[in-house]
Each structure stands twice: as structure tokens, then as C-alpha cells.
Structure 1
């Protein structure tokens, strides 16, 4: 059995992705930061439908913990699935932070960098020996990094996601001798818990965002999870180095 690792699987896009991957018959290792119960709920939902999943803690902003995390992944692979490798890695975990450029602080910028760019970069490096040849890596970017969307307040966040897009292209080149595909998905506005449950607190923004989207609604985690799952599947074995915007036509 192949196994995929999805960071940030306790809610939102990570949960939707983990569920969709499991539905295709793969095992799933999902990570969580502060929301352990959410991660356990994701595991329960997968197991209820006949899949297998394991939740592991991970602080993506502390790269010095990555070797120990890799050891935990190795144990999970052996004990749960009796395998030694990962078929796919989905770098999804993150957080949004809105600050007007004139009010941006180094503290917030450094945190965005640590979690959204440095973390995925060195986590991928740490886990690379476990990723099987002809496997897949998907980085979850954001359409804030694309030409279709430049909303005020996201300069720091979008800068890191733009860096993730560049990382995607270069890893696709460097890992191509092993047949590993590396792509990125750039979601548009998606109904998740990120931003301190912003959509629950400020529901009035939903119709505003929907009006800017060609399909007339805001995305949901399953929309993005299906795209990510497609990119790690064999059906897209000839696709690499791509930044795929999945926003329902935002800005058209």
C-alpha cells in the first residue's frame, strides 16, 4: 500500500485532502500543530469509511525537530502499513496573516517565513529519503501569489507563497532524475478555519468574495482536496513544475 503524508490535516484543506487520498485506497499520515482533537477527528472519519490513517504532531516552524519527526514517520510506516516509503508528500500546513504593508512587523514576517517557506523547504529535504522514486510532492500555495489576486494586507503572506511557487519549479527539476513530480496548487478563497475562524466571525465577506468568483461561490476544502489528490495520482504522472490555480475563476 502507498502512503501519503499531509501536513496540517486537522481541519480545512488538509482534512479534505487526507480524506480524499484515503478514499483512493492510500494510507495517510497527517500532522497537527495545536489542534490534536481535530486531527483525531480526521483519523476517525477516514477509519469510519474503511481507510487507515495516523496523526502525528509537528511544529512546522521549528526545523530542528524535523529529524525526530522523520523517525516518527518511519515508525508509523512500519507499524501501521509495513512499508518503508512515502508515495506522496503534501505540504499544506500554514496560517494566514493580514497586515497592511505600512504596519507589517518583522516578528510576523519571520513567523510567516518559518512556517510557510522555510518549514516546507527543509521538511521536504528531511523526508526526501523516504519518498519513493516516481512519487509526488504537492505544495499548497495561494492565489494571492498569482497575477489574478493582489488584495491589500497579504503582502507578507503572498511573498512566502510566491517563494513556495519558485521552490516548486526548482525541486521539480532537481528531483526529476528520480521521477518525482513536484507541483503546487494555489487555492482561492476557501471556507476553512484559518484566520481565527474568520468566515464564522465575519460571514458578510463570503458574498463579497463569491461575487468576485466566476462560479459564484467560495470554495470548500473538498474542492481543493480533490485537485491535490489528482496531482498525486498516476493520472497526472506527466505533470510536473506546474502552479495550478484552483479558485473557481477568481477575478474573471
Structure 2
């Protein structure tokens, strides 16, 4: 398991988060926002080790620590060795358990219902539902009682956009799973919520919201606050949701979209 770290092990009372897909976009913003709140992170990246290294460096500049681990969140067979890598990373951070889990990693998909293939649907299922389900299950022994879990969904579970049905359906399943996790993990004091971003200007979906002026304009016009979302509209919100001040929020779907399609 490939790893990048921001420094040697030191015993610290800092909270620790695990963020999947933390090398770019919303995950990157989340890791950096948590660092500004005094939270160390173990975050995953799929293939871009160089970008992961940059995030580790930026976290170091805040005075916090980060460790980057390579993971394909759609490959359940890799979760056992990943959990062992997490144990090693926690030791490096001077801890035995972590406090927060943000299931963020994902891929986009745009195809109409009648044209979506079995292979496309299987891939979406593996990454967006099965992977989240079993990775969370695998990491449960390592999360502290009283910890918090955030599952990332999408505004597309509410705002119906043709061509997004398969992707949104998997996220809809995550929203239901979140409620069941909140109920079943409540005995351990673990709160579980869904954050559903609206259209965000990242490299997601090939950067189409960020780089397509016409689409950018259309999204801005359908948003009450008059612009598309930015990654830093989401990361700080997730960091806030994970804070002690919001510990009573549980089993909720929180849309962060600037008021799209209201």
C-alpha cells in the first residue's frame, strides 16, 4: 500500500479523520479544512500520488499531520490490507483509533437510462455503494465511540437531471444507508449524516461545471446565490459538521448547493 506522510510519529491529542478521495476536489478541501481546525488526516488517493503529496505538504504548513494511502474504493478485496495500513498510520500519528470518517471518493457517470450498460452500473455500484458499505464496516473497529461519519451524496437525488439516473440512484441508496447506520451505530455514540453537494466547479465529470461556460452560466442561473459552488464551499462545511458543536446532528441529509432549483 503506497503511503506518503507529513512527518514522524508523535503522540498527540489531535482528532484524526479518514477521508477517501482526499487528493483533489471536495476531499482535498475537506482535509485542508480539517487541518485548519486542528484535525490530523489519513486520506486516500486512487492514482495521483503527486497530488496527494501536495496535500500532505499543505497540511504540514498548518502544523497538522496527514498521511496519504493509495486505495481503490471500488475493490473490496483491498480493504483488509488497507485497514492494516490504517493501523500503521494511526500508530505513526500516536493513536490507536480515529474519530471521523468521510466517505467522499467517487466517479461521475453521464448516460441515459436506456443507454447505460451493465458494466457502467456495476462500476457505479462497486464504488458508490458496495465500497462505502464495506469500507465503513471494515473500519468500524478502529473508529472511536462517539465518532462521526459523513457520507457524500449529491444534489441529483433531489434535482432530476436526465443522464444522471444511475449515479443518483447509487447516491440515493447511500442516503438510506446513512439513516440505518445512524440507528445501528447510535449505541456507540456514532453520528452519521449525508452531505449532498450541488454542482461544484472541480475536475469531477471532466471539469464540465468548471470549464464549460454555458453550463456554468446555467447552473448559476438556477442557484439562488447566483453562482456555481466551489470546493471550499463544501470542505469547511464538512469540517464544521464533524465538530463537537454539531454533535447532535444525526441521520440527516444536508444539501449544500447555494439553493439550487428551489
Which deviates the most, 43-52 or 5-14? Answer: 43-52
Which residue in 2 is equivalent to 1:190? Answer: 200
Which residue in 1 is equivalent to 2:181? Answer: 171
String of CA shifts for 1:175-226, please: whole Å, max 9, x gaps: 0000000001000000111112224552321011010000000111111111
Count of residue pairs the alignment pairs up: 249
Matched residues in 2 for 1:60 and 1:5: separation? 13
Which structure 2 residue ranges, 5 or more long, are not aligned? 1-13
String of CA shifts for 1:134-155, please: whole Å, max 9, x gaps: 0000001001012xx0000000
Residues 43-192 of structure 1 mapped to structure 2, 5 A cutoff: 43-79=56-92, 81-146=93-158, 149-192=159-202
Which residue in 2 is equivalent to 1:2? Answer: 15
Contact 2:197 2:234 in 1 (8 A): yes
Contact 2:200 2:209 in 1 (8 A): no
String of CA shifts for 1:105-163, please: whole Å, max 9, x gaps: 111110000001110110000000000000000001001012xx000000000000000
Which residue in 2 is equivalent to 1:237? Answer: 247
Matched residues in 1 for 2:150 and 2:34: separation? 13
Contact 2:199 2:209 in 1 (8 A): no
Q: CA deviation at 1:36?
A: 1.5
Q: TM-score, normalised by structure 2?
A: 0.93
